[in-house]
Every structure is written in C-alpha cells, then in structure tokens.
Amino acid sequence: MPFTHHSHSGEFCMHAKDTLEDIILAAIGKGMRILALTEHMPRDQPEDLYPEEVDANVSNFDLFRTFADYYEKARSLREKYQHAIHILIGFEVDYIRASSIPLINRLQADYNFDLFLGSVHHVNTIPIDFDAKMYAEARQTCGNGTDRDLFDAYFDAQWEMITLLQPPIVGHFDLIRLLSDSPSARLDTWDPEDEGGKILWDKIVRNVKAVVSYGGFIELNSASLRKGWDEAYPRRDICELVQSLGGRFTFSDDSHGVSQVGLNYDKLLQYARSLNIQEIYYLERLPMGQLAIDCLGPCKIRTIALTELENDPFYVNFQRPE
C-alpha cells in the first residue's frame, strides 16, 4: 500500500517537470495505490512572484487561472484512472502573511478539495528554500541575522499556520534547515547557558503538540534525500519528539516530476524503521454521502503497519529510479 500525499507537475508548477497525467501514470506504473495531487496555491500579491515567474511575465491573475485549470484537469484525470489508483485532489498552502488565511479559506470554499498541505516557504515574505541568496535575505530580516533568529521566526509562522488552519498534513516540517549553515545539527540539545536554544526547541514542541491535538499528520518527506540530506524531513530530533507526543506520520515523496515519483522510498522506509515507527497513516477519500469517524476533512484516516508496508510488492520489487 505505497502512497504519497505530496506531489507537483510541470503542467501547473514552473519549477517542476512533466504533465499531471504523466505523474499519475508514473505512480500507477510504480505500484502506488494512493496519490495526492497537491499543486501550490496561487499567490495574490505581485511581490510574492518568484523570479522564474517574473522572467516568464506570469501575473497573479495567471496563477489563479492556472490553479482553476489544475482543479478541473485533476477531476477529469481522477475519473479516467479511478480503476487503477486512488487519487486525492488537494493543494499545498503557502503561508506568507496573515492575509494568506482568508485567501486559503476562500480557495477551500470555491473548490471541493479532499485535503491540503500546510507549509511555510517564506519568512517575513521572503522565500527560504528557493536559493541561498533569498535564504540569506530572509535571515537578515530576523533579529541579529543569525540562523537561530530565522528559525525562531519560521516556527512562529508555522505556529500561526497550524493554529489558524489545522492542516490535515504539515508539509516538510523543518524545511527551514535546508539552506542553513548546519542543517544536521540537533535542535533538542543546547548549552545550559544558551537560553535561545531552549526557546527555539520549546516553539517546536508547541507546534508539534498543536498538530497532535487535532489528529493531523506530519509527513516523512523524502525530498530532502535527493537534496543531499541523510534523513528525511523532519530530521530525527523532531521525529523522536513527534513519537513521544503520540503524533501520526505519513509518507510523501514531494515529487516534482516523473523521475521523482517514489524516489528514495527505500531509504524513507529504512528511516522509519530506524526510528522504530510501528505504523504509517494515510488518507482515503470517502464515497459521496458515506459517514465515518476518525476523519480529516472529507477523508477517512487509515493505518498500515510498517511490517506490512515493507512486504508490499512495491518494496519487494523496489528499483530506484535512474
């Protein structure tokens, strides 16, 4: 029962590749059973356009039109391939500022989505994972301009997003580490005289507790592995915290093209095993009119034992993409 709750296509995301149908066919071909389509939400402020969008003369209006096209295409493809794969249609939140919340609520009201991912890609409106230059610019807007100051601001923004939206799944929980000076440094240990270290960790604990309180998932996201990390998002210190608080994990590949569908899922399974995670959670769309307990939005929460998952033909016959 392999699945991913986070994916993008080049048809509707400028920094991805391949069509939405290509992504679905790749997931089917690799034996996935559940695929969540989660293109990025449109941004409504001109200053939030990425350099690649500015270079292509893309406007905010274009982003909204592309988003509408995505929703209709996703609905059509779900019907076309319903015999072969269980498709969830959702979107990835880009929480940038307080005014992002009414926009997100409006999108949820306008479209009949199955789920959404709660993600933070900006601090003080500046992208923190686009490139090193923008990361440095964001860092300079925070306190004394240190990674610690930027981390503090990131987890505060994440807290706002979590508490105001209660996303079913929190995306790449510690994305802020990606371009930092010491991405592998543990955040749960600090010098006794380092009050700032304790404050930062307390914010992370606060955020995880909030997700656990409403039953949300934290994704084990394999995208970090293709970016040079030796662990998935989130890193081990945060995963151990999630476990200690009774949190729920799901699997995501955060694919941005056919070649990344299921990429490094063997390593993701090994990572989960090394953490002694016993079961993985996933979402399943309920048929129209069917009621169930233990849901996130319109989706039923399901679980699978890690031992059962690793014996699935997907893993038994696993071949890492070229």
Could you tell me if 283 and 299 are in contact, meaning their C-beta atoms sit under 8 angstroms apart?
yes
Per-residue pLDDT, 298: 87
Per-residue pLDDT, 316: 78
CA dihedral 154, 157, 163, 169 (to 10 degrees): -50
Residue 195: pLDDT band (50, 70, 90) is confident
User: Running DSSP on this structure, what letter comes out for residue 91?
Assistant: E
Residue 321: pLDDT band (50, 70, 90) is very low
Per-residue pLDDT, 295: 81
Mean pLDDT for the chain?
94
Burial class (CB in 10 A: 0-12, 13-18, 19+), 298: middle
Give the CA radius of gyration of the chain.
19
Residue 25: pLDDT band (50, 70, 90) is very high
Tokens 């409006």 sit on residue: 106
Strands of 61-214 (E only): list them. 86-94, 115-119, 122-123, 126-127, 169-170
Residue 305 pairs in a beta bridge with: 279
Per-residue pLDDT, 154: 98
Q: Measured in whole angstroms, how far is the alpha carbon of residue 30 from the centre of its chain?
A: 21
* Tens-digit pLDDT profile for residues 91-112: 999 999 999 999 999 999 999 9
Per-residue pLDDT at 160 exceeds 90: yes
**258 vs 194 pLDDT, higher one:** 258
Q: What is the DSSP string of 157-169?
A: HHHHHHHHH--SE
Per-residue pLDDT at 303 exceeds 60: yes
* Tens-digit pLDDT profile for residues 289-299: 565 667 888 89
Per-residue pLDDT at 189 exceeds 90: no
* Average pLDDT value for residue range 256-280: 97
Per-residue pLDDT, 286: 81
Residue 163: pLDDT band (50, 70, 90) is very high
Per-residue pLDDT, 190: 79
Tokens 């890193």 sit on residue: 235
* Average pLDDT value for residue range 15-39: 97
Could you tell me if 39 and 91 are in contact, meaning their C-beta atoms sit under 8 angstroms apart?
yes
Percent of the chain with pLDDT over 70: 96
Give me the sign of the Cα torsion angle 189, 193, 199, 205.
Answer: positive
Q: What is the DSSP string of 237-272?
A: HHHHHHHHTT-EEEEE--BSSGGGTTTTHHHHHHHH
Say what angle helices 132-140 and 147-165 make with each other, to 10 degrees: 90
* Tens-digit pLDDT profile for residues 225-261: 999 999 999 999 999 999 999 999 999 999 999 999 9
Per-residue pLDDT at 322 exceeds 90: no
User: Running DSSP on this structure, what letter comes out for residue 294?
Assistant: S
**315 vs 121 pLDDT, higher one:** 121
Q: Measured in whole angstroms, how far is the alpha carbon of residue 126 from the centre of its chain?
A: 19
Per-residue pLDDT at 204 exceeds 70: yes
Per-residue pLDDT, 289: 55
Give the C-alpha distances (Å, rounded to integers) separating 15 from 48, 52, 157, 213: 15, 8, 24, 34
* Average pLDDT value for residue range 25-42: 97
Per-residue pLDDT at 77 exceeds 60: yes
Residue 69: pLDDT band (50, 70, 90) is very high
